Amino acid sequence: MNDQALLRYSRQIMLDPIEIEGQERLLASHALVIGAGGLGSPVALYLAAAGVGRLTLADDDAVELSNLQRQVAHGQADIGRLKAESARDAALALNPDCRITAVTERLDGEALALAVQAADLVLDCTDRFASRYAINAACQAEGRPLVSGAAIRFGGQLAVFDPRDPESPCYACLYPPSKPGEPVDDEELRCAENGVVAPLVGLIGSFQALEAVKLLSGAGSAHQGLSTFDGLTGEWRRFRVPRDPACPVCGQRCGQD
């Protein structure tokens, strides 16, 4: 790090769990952020500001007026632009030294597997169950930690799934997928159909970014279990989530530990 970098990250470097070594790990790391909307906005901005050296932002959607109530990486002038490109520009405005790639196609299949493989850590900021299951399966296959967040109406949740940890479950342990032939109810999860209070996505997205910084820098320990937040009461709750030996995604891994 040069003098400018030392000054930029000085407030993190002075923290004992991070120091220069942790900051250098952040600068050398690569995070994949899937979804550049309500959750992905604070995730992208805070990871760039914190000094994560490389970000890949993936989203195939375009900015709409109704997004601006909560998706803080985008502004009025960005309406009609692709979200991945708008979020990239907002993050670069905070930290031009961050290397940011905008992926404007939906990541799926081999493209998703390659993107996960190229990253050190993945943050799921999507709002569809189908996407969440696919991202989880790719992270399990490639051995990449996954920081998963969700926010709807006045409620939010966060969990970290790390296949490197023999005790860590995966997303499919928490939410078993539908049986073959059964529909996946994505409408239950989407803000577009159910609404969401604006600051909630900032809170959960910031929590995701914090967990990513910890994992990438080596500070502290990763979040365990599932945390949920009720925005109407201000109450946090935490639940233990054990691994499911019969899980169709990580169950095989259970037998190998």
* Ramachandran bin of 80, using left for φ above 0, alpha for ψ from -120 to 50, beta for the remaining angles: left
Two tokens, residue 65: 């007026």
CA distance 254 to 164: 12
Residues near 3 by beta carbon (within 8 Å), at least 6 away in sequence: none
Q: In the annotation, is 125 catalytic?
A: no
With beta carbons less than 8 A apart as the criterion, state whether 203 and 41 touch: no
Instruction: Check if the beta carbon of residue 97 is closer than 8 Å to that of residue 127.
Output: no
How far lies 63's CA from each of 67, 74, 103, 235, in Å? Answer: 7, 7, 15, 32
The token duo for 218 is 């080596």
Residue type, 83: K
Give the three-state DSSP class for 68: helix
Question: 191, 247, 250, 254: which one is catalytic?
Answer: 191
Q: Show which residues are catalytic.
A: 191
